[in-house]
Structure 1
Amino acid sequence: MGAVNCRQGQHAQGPTCHKGGNIRGPLIRGWRCLWSGIGTTRSGLEELWVLQRHQCLHQESLKPSPSPEEKPLPEWPVPQFNLFLPEFPFRPHRGQQQLKILGLVAKGSFGTVLKVLDCGQKTLFAVKVVPKIKVLQKDILRQCKEEVSIQRQISHPFVHSLGDSWQGKQHLFIMCSYCSTDLYSLWSAVGCFAEASIRLFAAELVLVLCYLHDLGIIHRDVKMENILLDERGHLKLTDFGLSRHLPRGTRAYTICGTLQYMAPEVLSGGPYNHAADWWSLGVLLFSLATGKFPVAAERDHVAMLARVTRCDTVIPDSLNQGLSLLLHELLSQNPFHRLRYLHHFQLHPFFRGVAFDPELLQKQPVNFAMETQATQLSPLEPMLFKDFDCDFESCLGYPSPA
């Protein structure tokens, strides 16, 4: 899922998403978005909210005025009633089995990702768990709905496919196939990649980005941490929390992504389009080839924009001429000068002899990726789930069909 604070550098855990450089509005915007998004009438949730608000005002009028030493509450209280999102069914399809938690994959500010075993299929999955209360507090209702909508729409060999999604009383669940490691972990372990490996990974990413853009989808957070490796060492693009439908010819203005991968036009607040994803790909390939990022991370998007625009990216002379040309064309400050269409890459000198066909690419061995030890998952600790409303095993397990 998306987040609302800027990521700083490649180690950050949450994406950034704000508009025009300003933090999103107070919690009440989340309620308004909720009502407009799911069609609730005033006779339902709004009446409950108004009633609770009037009760609170009446109670406040009976209380003495606070002393100057008293501090306001850090957050608005949230009414305790269930949030229902039509995009997340309450029950999965019949016949699905109980899930068993095997370990913790990641824990961020918006949710937790777990490694689970489907006891019926004997298959591993990753399940993202998002508390509904945070969906409202962080005003990310639209992002949650968009993420699931996009993942249900796409089907590609190099995309991390959506397995299922459902909701409990207080949590949303998004389940995908499980991959043991990601490109960033591999890069951290081996450093610079061989040119042949860069060419293969680049071709796979070109195919998937062209596929998404043809569907009118912009990813907006292409980075190594969001590229998983399957059991054969091939790529799976994941995390569509910041993605959105953006038909060709239209523009976006939201500043979002990961600072070191964000294109200049995104850092400046737009307008921008799908070309921003190609800049991110250029940053990624530069890092794979050189072992470092083209521009060091800054504390915020303003400082990052200043650094990106005032210094040209220096391509090492040691790189192959075709790869050097590719990086120059992807990391162009002017988005109109960047490579963007499949035929641009098919005719490019760096990809000479490459068949841009998913089946053929998947037949090429990635031995070094398979041989690299995957990062060990941290053990599951019950204390990490103390904020859940019930025993987590039963919370995660599918409800039995009625």
Structure 2
Amino acid sequence: INLLRKLNHENIVKYRDTIKTQGYLYIVLEYMENGSLAQFMKKFGSLSETLVAMYITQVLRGLAYLHEQGVLHRDVKGANILTTKDGLVKLADFGVAIKLNETQKANSVVGSPYWMAPEVIEMAGWSSSSDIWSVGCTIIELLTTKPPYFDLAPMAALFRIVQEDHPPLPQRMSPVCKQKCSENDPQY
């Protein structure tokens, strides 16, 4: 809560309040009327590459801000990207996010298996690049409604993520999008 309270960016969901009741703690966030991209896909199916590009550009702006603040999200996926009726998207769910100092490394294996970067699975630690890997997996999710390796059990998927250079890319993905998703050292 303390971390979320300090964040202020148009592509990060805003913290509003905390309500404590007998045995419960409620976190009040800004209202995002269209829900998550995962919910949107359940209703309407996969997104066009143009729409994905528009949304992911905003996600990357939010991530760039987080990384500048020394914060790693560690669970980027469609379910954690909220939308408004005007097409604005915001990163949400900072339950496993962490703020690092310059010498600290996040070595815990947290997040969602199908979106997890190889270095995290191998326990080499989280970095901003790990969040970017998750963005690439989210692009695949938004284009197909499923993350990479969704047809495998979570442990089998983790093994494949480590063994392969990159996840399999959807057939319908344009050559430019395939090239961008296959870059080894992506830039914002």
**Which of 189, 206, 211 matches 2:43?**
189
Structure 2 matches for 1:84-95, cutoff 5 A?
none
Match of 1:250, SS? coil
Match of 2:126, SS? coil
CA contact (8 A) 2:121 2:162 kept: no
Cα RMSD, aligned residues only: 2.0
Q: After superposition, give the CA deviation of every residue in 1:20-44 in whole Å (9 maximum; x if it has no partner).
A: xxxxxxxxxxxxxxxxxxxxxxxxx
2:129 corresponds to:
275
Give the Cα separation in 1 of the matches to 2:159 and 2:73. Answer: 24
1:161 corresponds to:
14
Give the Cα separation in 2 of the matches to 1:306 and 1:208. Answer: 30
Output the TM-score relative to the length of structure 2: 0.88
Match of 2:150, SS? coil
Where does structure 2 lack aligned partners over 5 or more consecutive residues?
none
Output the TM-score relative to the length of structure 1: 0.43
Match of 1:319, SS? coil
**Which of 88, 93, 98 matches 1:244?**
98
CA contact (8 A) 1:221 1:257 kept: yes
Where does structure 1 lack aligned partners over 5 or more consecutive residues?
1-147, 330-336, 346-402
The Cα of 1:232 is off from its aligned counterpart by 1.4
Give the Cα separation in 2 of the matches to 1:222 and 1:297. Answer: 20
The answer on 1:286 being equivalent to 2:111 is no
The Cα of 1:297 is off from its aligned counterpart by 5.7
Match of 1:254, SS? coil
1:321 corresponds to:
175
One-letter amino acid matched to 1:338: D
Match of 1:240, SS? coil
Match of 2:106, SS? coil
One-letter amino acid matched to 1:229: T
Identity %: 26
Q: After superposition, give the CA deviation of every residue in 1:41-87 in whole Å (9 maximum; x if it has no partner).
A: xxxxxxxxxxxxxxxxxxxxxxxxxxxxxxxxxxxxxxxxxxxxxxx
Give the Cα separation in 2 of the matches to 1:259 and 1:313. Answer: 13
The Cα of 1:172 is off from its aligned counterpart by 1.9
Give the Cα separation in 1 of the matches to 2:81 and 2:47. Answer: 15
2:185 corresponds to:
338
The answer on 1:179 being equivalent to 2:32 is yes
Give the Cα separation in 2 of the matches to 1:297 and 1:251. Answer: 32
CA contact (8 A) 2:78 2:142 kept: no
Match of 1:164, SS? strand
Structure 1 outlier segments of 4+, above 6 Å: none
**Which of 244, 264, 269 matches 2:118?**
264
Give the Cα separation in 2 of the matches to 1:213 and 1:305. Answer: 25
1:20 corresponds to:
none
The Cα of 1:178 is off from its aligned counterpart by 2.1
Give the Cα separation in 2 of the matches to 1:291 and 1:314. Answer: 14
The Cα of 1:286 is off from its aligned counterpart by 1.3
One-letter amino acid matched to 2:50: A
2:162 corresponds to:
309
Change (3 A) 1:290 1:170: closer
Count of residue correspondences: 186
Match of 2:18, SS? strand
CA contact (8 A) 2:115 2:147 kept: no
One-letter amino acid matched to 2:157: M
Give the Cα separation in 2 of the matches to 1:248 and 1:273. Answer: 11
Give the Cα separation in 2 of the matches to 1:298 and 1:280. Answer: 18
2:23 corresponds to:
170
Q: After superposition, give the CA deviation of every residue in 1:324-361 in whole Å (9 maximum; x if it has no partner).
A: 111112xxxxxxx332xxxx34xxxxxxxxxxxxxxxx
Which structure would you say has the larger Rg?
Answer: 1
CA contact (8 A) 1:167 1:173 kept: yes
CA contact (8 A) 1:254 1:270 kept: no
The answer on 1:204 being equivalent to 2:58 is yes
CA contact (8 A) 1:268 1:305 kept: no
The Cα of 1:252 is off from its aligned counterpart by 1.2
Q: After superposition, give the CA deviation of every residue in 1:277-305 in whole Å (9 maximum; x if it has no partner).
A: 1111000001222343221265454x332
Change (3 A) 1:287 1:165: same
Structure 2 matches for 1:38-77, cutoff 5 A?
none
CA contact (8 A) 1:278 1:338 kept: no
